[in-house]
């Protein structure tokens, strides 16, 4: 009924692999990133691919996934399949308990549609200034 009234429908995204799991802390394109996959990274990519086979049947509109899998998701599911990317940090900020993190620019370049930014804003001395830094980084 809501779709009929508004002309819009809700969108649903499913989680892939928790962004606190990784074998390498560096995101694609960032210093320290290994060019070859470790076994754990390879297994994580296989898990994400298997999960995508389930959700690509249009059960959901997208997936919550780290920046590390953004390109693979877009290749497997098409450019319109949404990728919500958590673990977004401004450059130089502490990783803390999250291991699969990236800067806003790296996430956008990897194909993320929505960026989940929390601590970079909520723990900033000046949250409005932190938000402006993120906006500036994204252009």
Say what percent of the chain tops pLDDT 70: 67
Task: Give mean pLDDT, residues 11-18.
Answer: 58
pLDDT at residue 105 in the model: 95
pTM for this prediction: 0.64
Mean pLDDT of 67-85: 87
- CA 71-16-110 angle, 5° bins: 20
Q: Where are the domains of the chain?
A: 12-138
Rounded Cα–Cα distance for residues 52 and 63 (Å): 8
Q: What is the mean predicted confidence (pLDDT) over 23-37?
A: 52
pLDDT over 70 at 30, yes or no: no
Q: Which CATH number fits domain 12-138: 3.40.50.720, 1.10.238.10, 3.20.20.70, 1.20.1300.10?
A: 3.20.20.70
């Amino acid at each position: 009924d809501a779709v009929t009234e508004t002309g819009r429908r809700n969108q649903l995204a499913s989680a892939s692999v928790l962004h606190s799991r990784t074998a390498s802390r560096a995101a694609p394109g960032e210093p320290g990133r290994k060019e070859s996959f470790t076994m754990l990274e390879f297994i994580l990519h296989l898990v994400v691919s298997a999960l995508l086979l389930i959700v690509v049947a249009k059960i959901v509109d997208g997936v919550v996934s780290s920046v590390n899998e953004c390109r693979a998701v877009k290749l497997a599911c098409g450019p319109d399949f949404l990728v919500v990317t958590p673990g977004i940090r401004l450059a130089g900020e502490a990783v803390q308990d999250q291991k699969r993190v990236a800067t806003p620019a790296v996430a956008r370049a990897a194909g993320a549609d929505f960026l989940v930014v929390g601590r970079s804003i909520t723990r900033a001395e000046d949250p409005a200034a932190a938000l402006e830094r993120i906006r500036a980084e994204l252009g």
